[in-house]
Structure 1
Amino acid sequence: MEYIEWFGTHFIGLFEAGGKQFMGFMTGIVPLLIVLLTFTYSLIAFIGEQRVTRAIQFSAKSIFLRYTLMPVLSVLMLTNPMAYTFGRFVKEEQKPAFYDSVVSFLHPVTGLFPYANAGELFVFLGIANGVMEAGYSMSSLSVRYFLAGIVIIFLRGVITEYITRFLMRKESL
């Protein structure tokens, strides 16, 4: 009989803890996400969608901008999974590398811009809690993730583009 009582108490306790966590999100992270999204879309509207599109088309021509600026802007402006649609601005043989860059940036962006990939927020917050318990700043971690992410997406984009070109040449022989 004690086991049934223990199970009932802890079973409902699980949902009570989930409810407390949910309310923490509703008063903490959700308003932040809404404000960040509003800011991003307001900035695009202020600059003009046509200008933003032309800037993206221009940056697709440069290998450096194609695998740094384009993935960053696509993730910040369109969020996951719509960020992949910026791939329409690159040549067919560059699309795998662009996709690789975008998908590789979806975690590093989470610390500074949590709205961009909300699914990764729980992973980032878990890591950030450990970092804060060790006495370090979550802000510092967020900036370092972001900057390291830009370096990584550039390297991955260039390497994947090289591999894609190699395989396409090999396939055409």
Structure 2
Amino acid sequence: MPSSNPWSNVSASCRPEPAAQDRFDWRPSPVLVASVLLVGVLAALASLCSDLPPRAARVLAVLALIHAAGAAWREWRRPRLQVVVTAAGRVDVDGRRVGDLAVDWRGALGFMSWGGDRGRRQRRIWLPDTLPAPRRRELRLALMRVRADLDPESVAR
């Protein structure tokens, strides 16, 4: 029968498994940098419009602009990171194993923190321009899988 479809010899159990790890790339957010600069400009304008003496208001405005420019520059110059969540429940940040990764979600914003070198806590922010909605969902699911592997009470007795 030439018009019939050929039989498939691939079963569900023989298909290759999906990737054993999820990789998420973090990069500085242009939206965050622009927001920091905007807050600096607004702080400078607020000091100029305040009841401070004119000379103090100008000095404060210049300091606010300098501080905002420095904070935006530091944020823009942060190195890119690679966060890898393995199927075994391990989390690596730039090739270093991390045991205390925490990601808090506030709407579309993700606040990631972990213990870094010399006991200092490292922090990064995932904004919608650096982590689109489908990738946010993948990150949430991967971290839920990690929490389930680490939580001994999640296993039925």
Does the alignment reach a TM-score above 0.5? no
- The structure with the largest helix share of the pair is 1
**How would you bin the TM-score normalised by the shorter chain?**
under 0.3
Normalized per residue, the structure richer in strand is: 2
Query: Between Structure 1 and Structure 2, whose CA radius of gyration is higher?
Result: 2
